[in-house]
Amino acid sequence: MNLSFADSAGAAYTLAHALNKEPNIQAINLRANNNYIDYPTISEMRYYAEEAAREMVYGSDVLVLHTAVQPFFTGLHLDKNRIKGKRVLLYFHGSDARTYGKAIIKQADDLLGTGGYEVLVSTPDLLELLPQAQWMPVARSFTETRMRYGLDNRDARALAAFKGGIKKTIVSHAPTSQERKGSALFYMVITEMIQAFPQVEYQVIQQMTWDQAQRAMSRVSIFFDQHLLGAYGLAGVEASIFKAAVFCKLKPSVIEAMEKQTGQKNPFIQWDTDDELRQQAFTLVTDKKLRDKFGQMAYDYSKAVHDEAPVAAKFLKIVEAMG
């Protein structure tokens, strides 16, 4: 059972979806609110009376509380005596940890007892805020996504082969927050790329549903993720599914945590100065082999770390260790 107020990055649904492909497991996500991104969901809380939704929670063996948006989930007024015997995990996704982390942990201690739960974080930078946590990457279904949006669909490939025409180099950026991701720098570089290269086309990915964003992402060759947060986002992973070369500025401590925990080398392109970012981006436009190399690196890393099978396996290992 994944219980979420709002499904941050689709983490509640995609974890449940991944687990349902494992034998002898039934998982759902019970979401309180939707938003314009419209991530898929197995179950919406608004379709149930409050009592019925509570009974669904009490009937589960494992409960994942996704803490995004509000400090700790209290919307169902859960009876702590009916929760204590379960394996409970708190799953943090970003701002919840940065803003409310200590308060949420205190509430969890009061409700479940100190040490009566496991703490998960969806990005490695959050380990610095919650050192007792384990990194649980957000799942994505690589096979389903590539089939749905044409990358591994033979009919789509055949149609593309007949279209011919000028091959475009599609560049993109998908900020949910332009200020937090430092979009101004990327927009400057993208504008210069468009002016310098007639084959460059900018694909806007913003204020779209998840389905619309995936369709747009399937065309992208070069993707700019962020350069202020210090960690990569799910947009970078989704671009990787389609083998785009991904620019994402990471903190050295995040790179170290990524490589240590995953056994994979960081595949995301780094830079020190604005000029270096510009030079690397320009080079990728003119050097398709290099662009493909970085795209394959991003794909290989993201598939090993974020594809639903390894994510489900890691989650089950954590749950089994809880006893």
Task: Judge whether residue 220 has pLDDT over 80.
Answer: yes
pLDDT at 282: 98
pLDDT at 73: 55
CB 18 within 8 A of CB 312: yes
Task: Judge whether residue 261 has pLDDT over 70.
Answer: yes
pLDDT at 22: 93
pLDDT tens digits for range 169-190: 999 999 888 888 889 999 999 9
Task: Judge whether residue 154 has pLDDT over 80.
Answer: no
pLDDT at 69: 40
The neighbour count for residue 137, using CB atoms within 10 Å, is 25
pLDDT band of 191, cuts 50, 70, 90: very high
Which residues on adjacent β-strands are paired with residue 62? 87
Say which range, 71-85, 95-109, 242-256, has the weakest mean pLDDT: 71-85
Tokens of 211: 């389905």
pLDDT at 107: 82
Task: Judge whether residue 158 has pLDDT over 70.
Answer: no
Cα distances from 115 to residues 93, 124, 133, 205, in angstroms, run: 20, 21, 12, 41
pLDDT at 290: 97
Task: Judge whether residue 70 has pLDDT over 80.
Answer: no
pLDDT band of 71, cuts 50, 70, 90: very low
Average of pLDDT values for 284-293? 96
Q: 86-114 burial string, b = 16+ CB within 10 Å, else e?
A: bbbbbbbbbebbeebbeebbebbeebbee
Q: Of all residues in the chain, what percent carry a pLDDT higher than 70?
A: 93
pLDDT at 31: 87
Between 53 and 16, the more confident residue is 16
pLDDT band of 267, cuts 50, 70, 90: very high
Q: What is the pTM of this model?
A: 0.91
Task: Judge whether residue 283 has pLDDT over 60.
Answer: yes
Question: Which of left, alpha, beta for 115 (phi over 0: left; psi -120 to 50: alpha)?
Answer: left
pLDDT band of 156, cuts 50, 70, 90: low
Between 115 and 287, the more confident residue is 287
Between 105 and 277, the more confident residue is 277
Domains and CATH numbers, the chain: 2-139+308-321 (3.40.50), 142-306 (3.40.50.2000)
